[in-house]
Structure formats: structure tokens, C-alpha cells
A and B are shown apart, each in its own frame.
Chain A
């Protein structure tokens, strides 16, 4: 079956670092995405990992371990505007179908 797990909610302090974990079990794997979604808005693309390791992009980094079915999104120097839902998504092999996790709601407090 297809399953993507991530924590429901997290709270962190402005200026801190937060790590959002994602584990997946899917029938095929052709890459893992992280998206940010503010309330009432469409998801926006943050990162894509298809090989093991860490991808760094400014304040955001994403890590993938295919053997463990595990990824995390690391957000540094948190800002209030980072309060949003973060969606982990896995693209299946063939057909480019992307399966989304339920999302992690991140609250950044002052």
C-alpha cells in the first residue's frame, strides 16, 4: 500500500531550527517533494530529492534516505512567515503520480 507519515503539528521559536520528518512506504519511488502551503493558498514547491543525501537551498534543506524510506525538511533561522503546513509527497514510478502526506502544521512563535 501507499503510506506517507509526518507529524500533525509542530511548534518552534522564531530564530530557531526545526526538523520536520517524513517516512514513506510506497509501491514505487521516483523522487520526494516538500511543499509549503499557507492557509487558504495553493502549495508552493520547496525541494525535490531523488538521490540519498542533503540538498541545501538557503534557509531550507531536505534530506533523503531511500533505504530507510525517510526524509526530513530542515528550516533554519525561523521567521514568523514560516508558519504554514509542510507537505511531504512521493512520486511513484511510471505516470508521474505524486502521493501527498497529510502535512505538518508548523507554528512559529515569537
Chain B
């Protein structure tokens, strides 16, 4: 199994500012994923982050808005840039641990005022 921690666990931010979310895994993993879960909704994949290469973004998500870093095999960051109230959501980090299993971090609850 993989144990994932995220920082911060929650934050309240002002419109127009940026927030960087950190994701730390207790083991080395090749693929890390960033998801968004808006209130009452399911998970939407933002991007896939592999160490040593540029993140791959899903339709509707762009690097300028959600820059991602993946400096090593246990850590990644997601920045939510120039925030608006529509960015209020839960942001979840996830990793593949073995082919058949995907683990999620506890999430970062973001409220943009």
C-alpha cells in the first residue's frame, strides 16, 4: 500500500491569488495524478505527473492555470493560479501502487472568496 499526505488540508483564499498544494508519498511511484472533486460531484482528472517529464493535462485544464511539479518519485505539487470562486473544490493527489490499485491522498479543501 501507499500512504499519501497532502498540505494544506484546507485553505481559504482570496480571488486572484495562487495556492500550491503539496503531495508526499511514503514510497517511490512512477505515476502521480491530480484530481478535482467539486461539491457533490465525482472526481475529474486534472493531469498526470511523471517524474522527469512534463505533466499531461486533460481537456479543460491548462498548465498556466494548474502548473505541476514532479521533482522526484515521492513528491509533487499542484498550483491553482489566479483563483476564482469556481476553483473552490477538493483537490486530491493519487498514485498507482501496483497495476490494480490506486490510492488517494486525504485531499485539500479549497474555498476561494
Contacts and interface: CB of A to CB of B under 8 A. Distances in A.
A100 interface: yes
Interface of A: 31, 33, 41-45, 48, 50, 87, 89, 95-103
A30 to B, nearest CB: 9
In terms of DSSP, what is the predominant structure of the interface of chain A? loop
Nearest to A6: B42
B107 A42 contact: yes
B103 A102 contact: no
A101 B42 contact: yes
Contacts of B106: 41-42
A87 B37 CA distance: 12
B51 to A, nearest CB: 14
B105 A42 contact: yes
B42 A87 contact: yes
Nearest to B58: A97
Given A96-B31, A96-B48, A96-B96, A103 B103 contact: no
